[in-house]
């Protein structure tokens, strides 16, 4: 018990970084994914090709590799990110690709009649997307987005590769130093708490949207 209290501050500070990466990635990748998905359903072919290529690249290579490329590779062509910014950059680009595909599916499931209905009421395209389409898409994609959100909590542990001190790294350091597995067990418990809280919040959000069918 005494040992746990001794290492807890360093684990919690690592959890703080994990949460920061988690939150900023969501803040960046959800809107970006939405914009990309609108491009995917647009009629502009070159735009579609470009975004499809981007999605293929991001989903087709490991996130770990993308992190390494951004932090160690980009400086070779003159683009230098600090560690934390490099991590956010890679995570946002990667998750936006997944979200773009999820949103595309949601957008395509909206009946064309809804667009026509909005059109004869003379709503503009922007008004239709904002007031009619997005509220319906949000409800449809929530379970899939929730899946990715949970994944993100755990994926954030990949930042160790560019030397950031997240939760898993804090546990690793303590385990190596004190030759005991207790820190890693604690790390597992903290991840479980984080995902439990996220699951709860996602459940509440889904419940909030259950007022219509």
Partner 1 sequence: MLTLKNITKRFGDRTIIDQLDLTVKDGEVLSIVGPSGAGKTTLLRCITGLEKVDEGEFLIDGQPFDPYTNRTNESVIGVVFQNFQLFPHLTVLQNITLAPTMVLKESEADAQANAQKLLERLDLGDHGDQYPYQLSGGQQQRVAIARALAMKPNVLCYDEPTSALDPNLRQEVEKLILGLKADGMTQIVVSHDLTFAENIADDMLRVEPNQSK
What is the C-alpha to C-alpha distance for residues 207 and 134, in angstroms, rounded to an integer?
Answer: 17
- Is the CB of 107 or the CB of 190 nearer to partner 1? 107
What is the C-alpha to C-alpha distance for residues 125 and 118, in angstroms, rounded to an integer?
Answer: 9
Dihedral pair phi/psi, residue 165, rounded to 5°: -90, 80
Of 63, 85, 206, the closest CA to residue 143 belongs to 206
What is the C-alpha to C-alpha distance for residues 200 and 31, in angstroms, rounded to an integer?
Answer: 23
Does residue 119 belong to the site contacting partner 1 (CB under 8 A)?
Answer: yes
Which region, judged by CB under 8 A, interacts with partner 1, from 32-40, 85-93, 101-109, 128-136?
A: 128-136
Least Å distance, CB 118 to partner 1, is 8
Does residue 213 belong to the site contacting partner 1 (CB under 8 A)?
Answer: yes
Contact 132, 145 (CB under 8 A): no
- Is the CB of 78 or the CB of 113 nearer to partner 1? 113
Q: How many residues bind partner 1 (CB under 8 A)?
A: 19
The four Cα atoms 58, 151, 189, 15 give a dihedral, to 10 degrees, of: 50
| Subset of 55-114 contacting partner 1 (CB under 8 A) | 111, 113-114
Among 22, 40, 92, 139, binds partner 1 (CB under 8 A): 139
Which residues form the interface with partner 1 (CB under 8 A)?
111, 113-114, 116-117, 119-123, 127, 131-132, 135-136, 139, 211-213
């Amino acid at each position: 018990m005494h040992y746990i209290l001794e290492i807890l501050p360093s684990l919690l500070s690592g959890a703080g970084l994990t949460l920061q990466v988690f939150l900023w990635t969501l803040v960046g990748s959800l809107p970006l994914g939405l914009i990309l998905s609108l491009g995917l359903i647009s009629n502009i072919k070159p735009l579609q090709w470009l975004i499809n290529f981007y999605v293929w690249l991001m989903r087709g290579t490991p996130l770990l590799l993308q992190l390494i490329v951004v932090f160690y590779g980009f400086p070779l062509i003159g683009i230098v990110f600090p560690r934390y910014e490099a991590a956010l950059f890679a995570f946002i680009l990667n998750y936006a690709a997944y979200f773009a595909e999820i949103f595309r599916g949601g957008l395509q499931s909206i009946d064309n009649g809804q667009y026509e209905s909005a059109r004869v009421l003379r709503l503009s395209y922007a008004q239709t997307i904002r007031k009619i389409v997005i509220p319906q898409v949000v409800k449809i994609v929530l379970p899939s987005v929730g899946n990715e959100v949970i994944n993100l909590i755990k994926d954030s542990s990949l930042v160790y590769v560019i030397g950031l001190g997240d939760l898993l790294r804090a546990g690793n350091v303590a385990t190596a130093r004190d030759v005991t597995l207790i820190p890693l067990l604690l790390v597992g418990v903290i991840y479980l708490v984080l995902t439990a809280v996220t699951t709860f919040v996602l459940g509440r959000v889904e419940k909030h949207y259950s007022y219509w069918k």
